[in-house]
Amino acid sequence: MSNKNGKALKSLATADRDAILKNAASKVRDYVSLLEEQIEQLSAIGLALSKEKDMPTLLEMILEEAKRITNCDGRTLYMMEDDEKLKFEIVRTDSLNFHMGGTSGEEVPFYPVKLYLEDGKPNHSMIAAYAGLTGETINIPDAYKAEGFDFSGTKMFDEKTGYRSTSFLTVPLKNHLDEIIGVIQLLNAQDPGTGKVIPFSEDAQKLVESLCSQAAVAITNKQLIDQLEELFESFIKLIATAIDKKSPYTGGHCIRVPTLTMMLADAVEKAEYGPYKDFSMTEEERYELYIAGWLHDCGKVATPTHVVDKGTKLETIFDRIDTIDTRFEVLKRDAKIDYLQKLVNQKSSRNGEAKQLEREYKAKLRKIRKDQKFIQECNIGGEYMAKPLQERVIGISKYPYRQDGKKQSFLSHEDVRNLNIPKGTLLPEERQIINDHIVITIDMLNQLPYPKHLKNVPEFAGGHHEKLDGTGYPQGLAHDDMSPQAKIMAIADVYEALTAADRPYKDGKKISMAMRIMGFMRDDYHIDPDLFEIFVKEGVYQQYAEEHVKPTQIDEVQQEALLG
């Protein structure tokens, strides 16, 4: 070979080598670029998963990312249940236009996969159960050639649909405690260029395993948050139940006020008129108001039962009217003894004088009975007690009365004070004890370490006894000091209290009377006029009454007069 030909061959060999190296370098760059893209995608989906709050959407995102990574046709997500079964959560097959569970709104009709057989042995024949039991990833290139697993159900499905289930990738979802909380099963990876079904690659498997690791964390976090919220709500409802058990007259109030509060809040958000036409709340803000509604009277756990349950004016541990009735019986007895004594001492046997004594006795008896009935009626709380009636109680208290031979007042000073309560059944100091429940509520709520989205709970719950003119309690807040949510709760609290039929001191008012009273409160600037307008116009009072008020209390309300 000539020197010239040798140089040409050497030059050609060098060119081939350079081409090969260049091609290899290009492939490496493409591979690195693909890896970088996949890592970025995994990072992005990890961030998205951590932010998603809706569980069906979260699960759907996980499956769709698995599809993107592997270009698979079918995918199934199982979630572990407490009874050692894998429940079908989402089932999707694109080529069959098949989508059940998740965000589809369609229930998955398949029975859960049992992890253990009837004899108690582990169910290793089912591929999903095997992954759920062992925590291992199973990558099968062709189900029809695979050994060790039962694919009879898959083959029956294929026979019915004309489908061909070939490659499977089954990956467990493990949480931070290394517990298996679910399984992802992917079906029929496809070549991006030809669409031909191919086995799942090792690289795709590793990426899906990484995705499942992130997904398990996101699912577990969501479950933990849901469980904590459920625990928090259960604890709140436990407080309301405790109040209910302590006093049957207030427990219903604690349950009904949050219901009515949310009804009015919904109406305010929908209203397209007035100062609140732009009012809206996020789901977190709605939840915050709902929690405040449940907690608005939690301070009543510290209120003495004998005050909360004071159904009559003379009631403490027992109703002292029985003691006073006994005194009236003593008066009747003494009147009869006096009458009989006078008859015995009557020197004249003239019939006319005896008749006169009898008439005097019967008149005295009628007066005693009349006064007894009056005192019994006074013992029942009412809306107003006129001054002359109070003077009559004082007069009756001066009846001559002896006990154990000693002269004493027929009615004690405390008896008179209680019987002369002008409104309701509570003395001023007892009413203050009741009012103090809101101070206790605020003190209790201010001590809780709230997350950011619940930080306004004390303000919402603590403001339902405030009035817009600044005359409310406990802080004397005015219009500008109160949030719309606190004003909404104030209206809900008033309407529920007026219509409640389970109070010891009053009957529930008819809704027309309740609304009339609230109209006066609106005029006196005690409740928000614009919110009250929505309460009336949107029929919130009627909707609540139909669900929570006795039918006998529901009558016609003149809306035009209320709004006029």
208 and 257 housed in the same domain:
no
For residues 139 and 141, give the distance between their C-alpha atoms in angstroms, rounded to a whole number. Answer: 7
444 and 496 housed in the same domain:
yes
129 and 171 housed in the same domain:
yes
pLDDT value at residue 437: 81
Q: Is residue 346 in a domain?
A: yes
Contact 86, 79 (CB under 8 A): yes
Domain of residue 85: give its range.
Answer: 27-224
CB proximity list for 109: less than 8 A, separation 6 or greater: 100
Q: Which two tokens stand for residue 185?
A: 């099963």
Tally of domains in the chain: 3
Q: By CB neighbour count within 10 A (0-12 exposed, 13-18 middle, 19+ buried), where does 416 fall?
A: middle
Compute, in degrees rounded to 10, the torsion defined by CA atoms 257, 263, 268, 269: 120
Q: Is residue 18 in a domain?
A: no
Q: Is residue 13 in a domain?
A: no
Handedness of CA 385, 247, 555, 488 (dihedral sign): positive
Three-state secondary structure readout of 205-223: HHHHHHHHHHHHHHHHHHH
Q: What is the CATH number of the domain that holds 91?
A: 3.30.450.40
pTM to 2 decimal places: 0.67
Which of 371, 395, 425 corresponds to the end of one domain? 425
pLDDT value at residue 7: 59
pLDDT value at residue 216: 86
406 and 484 housed in the same domain:
no
167 and 41 housed in the same domain:
yes
Q: pLDDT (tens digit, 0 to 9) for every residue of the chain, 564 residues total?
A: 556 665 555 565 666 666 766 676 666 665 555 555 555 565 555 566 566 677 888 888 888 889 988 999 999 999 999 878 999 999 999 999 989 999 898 999 999 999 999 999 999 999 999 999 999 999 999 999 998 899 998 999 899 989 999 999 999 999 888 899 999 999 999 998 899 999 999 989 998 998 888 888 888 888 888 888 888 888 888 877 777 677 666 657 888 999 999 999 999 999 999 999 999 999 999 999 999 998 888 887 777 777 777 878 888 777 888 989 988 998 899 889 888 888 887 765 566 788 888 888 999 999 999 999 999 999 988 878 999 999 999 999 998 888 777 888 899 899 999 999 998 888 888 888 877 888 888 888 888 888 888 899 999 988 888 999 999 888 899 999 999 999 999 999 999 989 987 665 566 789 999 999 999 999 999 999 999 999 999 999 999 999 999 999 999 999 988 887
Which of 377, 407, 425 corresponds to the end of one domain? 425
391 and 421 housed in the same domain:
yes
pLDDT value at residue 449: 87
392 and 484 housed in the same domain:
no
Q: What is the DSSP letter of 551?
A: G
Find, among 309, 289, 164, 198, the residue nearest to 248 by Cα: 309
Instruction: Please give the backbone phi and psi of residue 173, each rounded to the nearest 5 degrees, phi first.
Output: -105, 115
For residues 361 and 266, give the distance between their C-alpha atoms in angstroms, rounded to a whole number. Answer: 67
Q: Is residue 241 in a domain?
A: no
Tokens 């591979």 sit at which residue? 31
Instruction: Tell me how far the alpha carbon of residue 530 is from its chain's centroid.
Output: 26
Q: Is residue 311 in a domain?
A: no
Contact 163, 95 (CB under 8 A): yes
56 and 130 housed in the same domain:
yes
Hey, how many other C-beta atoms are within 10 angstroms of the C-beta on 260? 26
284 and 348 housed in the same domain:
no
196 and 344 housed in the same domain:
no
Which of 425, 444, 460 corresponds to the end of one domain? 425
Q: Is residue 237 in a domain?
A: no
137 and 182 housed in the same domain:
yes
Q: What is the CATH number of the domain that holds 548?
A: 1.10.3210.10
Q: Is residue 457 in a domain?
A: yes
71 and 201 housed in the same domain:
yes
pLDDT value at residue 50: 61
Q: Is residue 307 in a domain?
A: no
For residues 154 and 146, give the distance between their C-alpha atoms in angstroms, rounded to a whole number. Answer: 12
